[in-house]
Structure 1
Amino acid sequence: MRGWIAIFFVFLFFTGCSAQSKTDDKGTKSLYLELEKKYGISIVFEQLEKKFPAYWLEPPISVTYEPLVFQDLSEIHKPIKDALSQYPSNVIKKNLRYIGLAKKLYFYGTFYGATYTQTDPDRNSIFLSKDSDSVNLNSYEYIFDSIHHEFSSILMKRYPFPEAEWRKANIKTFRYKYEDQKIPGLEAMKNQEHLQKEESPFVRGFMSDYGMSSLEEDVNVFSGVLFAYPDWMIDLASKHAIIRKKIVIWLKFYTSIDPAFNNTPLFKKYASKGLKP
């Protein structure tokens, strides 16, 4: 009799767990549906290959990915939501179509934390890896930064970026290390320049060695840090003239896309410290 009772309670336990799991799954899905509805985007984590441009599937790019398990979605929802909330909603609606999510992405046989595409069928889309190769960032920071990093590239392609002014802010003798390469960011990653090596790139007006690979990567890195760590950037701006110049140029670019940026808490914070477009 006791054996049957034990089996009965085990059955109830797993039935309860299954029901709870289904409830949790529905709750997680509803959270993503809310984001999709609010911003007019699609967030995809299954069959990403259907969203990749055809040429990504062919050599030498040969994109592959490890799919997410459903439980990962609840973990990465908050950084996605928080990152998108820092933009006027119209900026997202006009310039972003898809966010593709994977556990890991590989391009050219190399791990990619994130990338974007402006190629049909799904131009203006971002693809993110949940897992990071950085020991310095937790999952929240990594996803949050990656969205801003990649979205800044899309915005740079769609709106007039003040490239000459940005270059002029650099030291006169400086040249971006991999700017002549077809894919500067890939060259930097191959040489592990996405990992911090130089003790103080701030003195030269950069946030990391990786930012020195090309102008686009420079802006990408600034974008991630400016959105994520305003207090730190305000402090750096008070100490390093080039960083201050680049912050002002960056603010000017984003507010030229939509003046509503000026009304966001982040931009108000920068303005309160004298960092204005």
Structure 2
Amino acid sequence: MAFVTTSDGVEIFYKDWGPKSAQPVVFHHGWPLSADDWDAQMLFLVNQGFRVVAHDRRGHGRSAQVGDGHDMDHYAADAAAVFAHLDLRGAVHVGHSTGGGEVAHYVARHGQPQDRVAKAVLIGAVPPIMVKTPANPGGLPIEVFDGFRAALAANRAQFYLDVASGPFYGFNRDGAQVSQGVIQNWWRQGMQGGAKAHYDGIKAFSETDFTDDLKAMTVPTLVLHGEDDQIVPIDDSARLAITHLRNGTLKTYPGFSHGMCTVNADVINADLLAFIRA
């Protein structure tokens, strides 16, 4: 397995498939998952001739289960260490949920200054900020995220099973086609990571304000969001984020859930490919 060691000594796992001479498409996963959550997109795009790269965030998946650094500054710096090691140029960076925040933070603070980024895609992403604040009155109350922390601390395994079985993929909706394999794969990825990283990561994805990152992004940016996203509500995320982007395009999907990259992979893959090739 391939790892990069960061400047503070953390081993970050990554996958790197496809021709090294091809344009890179880089994936940033959501909480509390791993690079495996991008299987449908990576397999599709590598078969289209692209180089595809994805890493496990610190404390997640196969990366080191360290006790600290579970904040967006470290997440973006860790990603930058991987991409510098691979010397990726002209990359398209794709982030889902928390990974969308990581993309914004990385592109604004590392990728653009280092001239490594060509385009960005934010899918079901948390920017500009999830929690309710005086400046973000439509956000979710802090008590929602306190509830996540309490559920994780009390019984992480059951909490993750409940999330995957219900709101993440919209499996709690009438008429939903429930996949036990999808549920178990989500649970597997979550339980592979560290409880401390996941606990601290709730603050990172809910309280980080990405407004300045969005404003600093100049590369073409595609924002994709499901209109029935029960995890990251569209009105408090994508529809606000697009107002801060200088070069952004918003596309929404009626009825699609937070987990649309998996359960609606055919639609999302086609739209990703069209944007990358445009």
TM-score (normalised: structure 2): 0.32
TM-score (normalised: structure 1): 0.32
More strand by share: 2
Identify the structure with bigger relative contact order (alpha carbons < 8 Å, sequence gap 6+): 2
More helix by share: 1
Larger gyration radius, structure 1 or structure 2: 1
